[in-house]
Structure formats: C-alpha cells, structure tokens
Structure 1
C-alpha cells in the first residue's frame, strides 16, 4: 500500500468512526423529553401548600424534571409584574429548568361571535405573550372557544387566533391551541381551524385526555390525537389513575405514544396529572414512570425493526 492509499483509507475509517459516534450518541438520546405542567399541582398550589414561585424548584428537586409549563391562573394578576416574573425566571434558571410555555385561561373567547369581544379577548392575551417571552418560553397555550354552527365557529376561532398569532409572531412566540372542551375537543374541527389560520406560529398542544365535546359526546382520543399531531409544538400527557402494573386506566399510553412517535414528534411531553385517588405527588411520579417505560419500549421496538432490515 502506497502512502496515498494509506491516507485515503485512514480518512475513510476516521470518517466512519465519527459517524458511528454520532449515531450512537443520537441513539442514546431519548426520542422525547419529559416536562411538568403546573396544573398537576393545582390542588397543592391553590391549597397554599406550595408557592407558585417554587414550582420550577419542585419540578427539578422532587421529580428530576428539567422543563415546565406554567398556568396563568396561579399568577393571574402578575402578567406584567416584572419583579414577580423576574424572580420566577431566576428560580427556574437557578435549577437549570427550561420554561416552555404558559397555559392561558379566563381571558375571553378568541372565537366570540361579537367582533368587539373577540378583539378584546385577543388583546387580553397580549400580556401573556409578553410574559412568556420574558420567561424564555416558546409558546402560550390558548383556547378556541366560540359559538354557532360547526363552520361558523371554525371561521370565528380562526379569525381571533390569526389576530393573536400576528402579535405573537412579532415576539417570536407560538400560539398553541389545546383540545379543551366544546368543538375544540373534536380533532377534525380543530385541525381545520389551524389550517384556516395558516401561519407557522400557530399550532396545537394535543392533550391525551380532553375529548369531551358536550354532555353526550366524547371524541375518540386516538383519532383526535392523530388529527392534531401534524400541527403539534407540544404534547400534554393527561393521566387520571393507574392499575397495579402502572398503566393508565382510561388511556392506552402505548397506543397514544406510538401515534406521537409516528407523527415524527421529538419535543417535550408534559405530565398533567388530574386524578384524585393518588395525591398529586404520587400521580406525577406514576405518570413519569409510565412515560419513561413506554418511551423505552417503543424505542427498543424501533431499534429491533431497524436491525431486521
């Protein structure tokens, strides 16, 4: 072997080695990361047992979770209080916790049939966009409540959302809509709204469990999740209760997470425990354990399929 051949082969082996290292590193990384939604601790916070400012601290120290999703109800009058928000940001950053989004409620209907009320609802959310930007979040989560026929509500919700998204885009923030009751819990309806808005900053935050359209109608959770995942910039892992094996009793997490994975989603999935048999701390731990187990199970199945090709 001459010197030139030796160098070419050595370079090829080195490149292959680096590629293998990168591949092994990518395989070692989880295909989604786990965050914690503040609503999981709503009874603890509303009951005065936990200061909302300490939520990021609890997420990291109690549960080993590195990212959080805030709920505006816990600091509803503090959206423009820079001292309060600054302290919240300081505590999150001090724990190495990433602030992902703020879930926004009680600010009016973005799809209100009355143009003035619809516009007021849009403007009511401005302060949360600004607060989310200050905290370092990527999004706010909103509701797409409206009134009227199926088609009328789609148009009205899309109009309000588009107005809000135009403002949020100026702050480099996303506006995400959750399936959260009414027609928003109809996956096809909400997917149609997002298409009408037609803006890269407008997406969804699919929730595993919020599929009650009205008193008599429940939407299929697996169909709904599949319909919303193409627009997802976050996912909410709702949980209520667990059996002796640690499986969620109302929802098939393997099936749900398979839908998430097959959609190509690789972001955070937020724990949102809402049960009442286990206390909130135990419910969060049970949900985290289930997510970790199914995550590993699906990753192993994917690796096995890849090895058979």
Structure 2
C-alpha cells in the first residue's frame, strides 16, 4: 500500500466517523485556508526529567507546568509514570482536561532485536500492554522502537560511538529486521482495536537510519504503523534524512540542548525543518524533548518560543 497523508485518515477508518454530507461538502483544506494554521506544540514529560537523579517530576506536575508555560499538549514518558492503576490513569486525563491541554502521545521502550523468541515475546506483550494504557488515557499515538543489539556496555558507550554498535556474533542485520517486523506485526491488531497509531522512531539500533525505519514500516504496510520523527537522532547531515521519513510521519519529537547536551548537542535549523514538514503536508503535533543541562524552568520556555515561531503560520 502506498499510503499518502491525504489518504491516511481514510485508510485508518476515520472517514467513516464523519457525516457523509458534511464530508462531501467539505472543501480541500489547502483551498479553503488562506494560510498554514501552525502545528500544535507539545512537550514530553521527559523534558522535565532527562533521567537526572535530582529532577524527576511526577506526570501531574509535568502537566501543570506544561499548561502554565503555554504548551498545547503533553507527551507522556511511560517509565516516568508512577502507577498503571485505572484510577491513576483517569486522574491524569482529568488533570490534563482541567488544565486545557491534550495528552497527545505515549513514549515507550521495547526491544525486538534478539535471537531469543521468549525475549521478543516479552517485548511484544509489553508493547500490547502499553497500547492498552494509551487507549485508557485517550492517547492517539505511541512511540515504538526497534531495539538494538545490546553489545554496548552502556548507553554512554553507545553515544560515545555515535549510536553504532557491533551485531551479535553469528547474526546479520537481515536477522534483526526479520525479528522486528514479525514482532511489530503481532502488535498491530491491538493498535487497530484501540485506535492507537504506532510511530516507529529513528531511535538507535536498526532505527538509527531513515532507511532502517522505512524498511520496517514499508514491509509491514499498515496505516497503524507509521513514523515518529525525532529531529535529534540523526547525528550527521540530518535534513535529507528527516525528509526521507517525513511523508510517513505522524508525530514529531523536537530536541533542544540549552546549556549543552547531556550526551551531544546539535545545531538544528527549525525554520528549515518546519518548512520541509509543511511541504509534506504535516499538520500534527511537534513535541519538545529538551535534552540540555540548563535548568528546565528557563530552557523549556525558551524551547517553546523557538518551536512556536518556527512552526507557526
């Protein structure tokens, strides 16, 4: 299936929800609008934490801070959640509602790059479980990863090697891609049932390159698996790589590095990135992932101003 953004909603079954007469009468958005409405700007709860020992805010605090700073929405980092009890999930929904922000994304971790079928199944089960959490939270999209070979001693070592690590002895990238494709295919029935679009991120491992991400997305060929585009995970010559993923992107994570990056810093041209995404008709959320050393209280508002200016009409 050659899925274009214009046909995405139809392919996902959303068009059936609109009254037929209204749908037929509605003019093309490009023809009816005098300009670009701008992308809604969200912030990941990760931005307030960044895995720093002394700054882990609760999701409730992140929602409050996000609304106070002027964001449109909040992306939730799953491992930052303090509970998965139904009451906790519903309180988060209510907290967002009374603050006037949306819960727009759930960011999860999983790894399918393993020759051990039991390890892969454990990650499949975890992914399906978090899809169901997203559904309970009313979140429409969830970030997923390929996982990586795991031959680096630590994430710091992986970053020191620019995200590149050796394969497991005796295995090839083709083996890894096969495991990832098979595993994600098993997650898609839950995604479709729950109405949660999975976004495969360019996030190290087999997703370190746009070609790797698209190899998986194209092989599975489902409207329920598209791309989450992270602006900060292509460490060299990012713009052409970002554009390769843009046509199938349903969610954007935008990095900033005030005070110097935790692992590295990139000088990203956000007006250029925004213009490129407009060319590909991207109307969706842009979610800040602040990853710098400066205190979040000053760095996140500066990041919001930067993104608001770049992605506004």
SS at match of 2:202: coil
TM-score (norm 2): 0.76
CA distance in 2, matches of 1:138, 1:85: 15
Q: TM-score, normalised by structure 1?
A: 0.77
Tell me, in whole angstroms, the C-alpha distance in 2 between the residues paired with 1:64 and 1:28.
23
Counterparts of 1:48 and 1:190 in 2: how far apart (Å)? 32
User: Residue 205 of structure 1: SS of its match in structure 2?
Assistant: strand
For structure 1, the residue ranges without an aligned partner over 5 or more in a row are: 1-18, 212-217, 300-309
Structure 1 counterpart SS, 2:105? strand
Q: Pick the aligned partner of 1:42 from 49, 57, 60.
A: 49
Aligned residues: 262
**Contact 2:232 2:266 (8 Å CA) reproduced:** no
Distance verdict in 2 for CA 1:288–1:46, change over 3 Å: same
Which structure has greater helix proportion? 1
- Structure 1 segments, 4+ long, off by >6 Å, are 22-25
1:281 partnered with 2:300 = no
Structure 2 CA distance for aligned equivalents of residues 262 and 194 of structure 1: 21
Name the larger-Rg structure: 1
Kept after mapping to 2: 8 A contact 1:35/1:66: yes
- The answer to whether the Cα contact below 8 Å between 1:186 and 1:219 also exists between their aligned partners in 2 is no
1:256 aligns with 2:273: yes
Which residues of 2 match residues 1-309 of structure 1 at below 5 A? 26-27=33-34, 30-43=37-50, 47=54, 50-61=57-68, 63-75=69-81, 78-79=83-84, 81-105=85-109, 107=110, 109-147=111-149, 148-211=171-234, 218-241=235-258, 250-276=267-293, 278-296=294-312, 299=313
CA distance in 2, matches of 1:158, 1:182: 14
User: Do the aligned residues in 2 keep the contact of 1:111 with 1:158 (CA within 8 Å)?
Assistant: no
The DSSP-based 3-state class of the residue aligned with 1:275 is coil
Where relative contact order (Cα < 8 A, 6+ residues apart) is larger, the structure is 2
Residue 149 (structure 1) shift:
2.4
Is this contact kept in 1: 2:131–2:194, CA < 8 A? yes
Following superposition, the deviation at residue 134 of structure 1 comes to: 0.9
Q: Secondary structure of the equivalent of 2:229?
A: coil
Unaligned runs of 5+ in 2: 1-25, 150-170
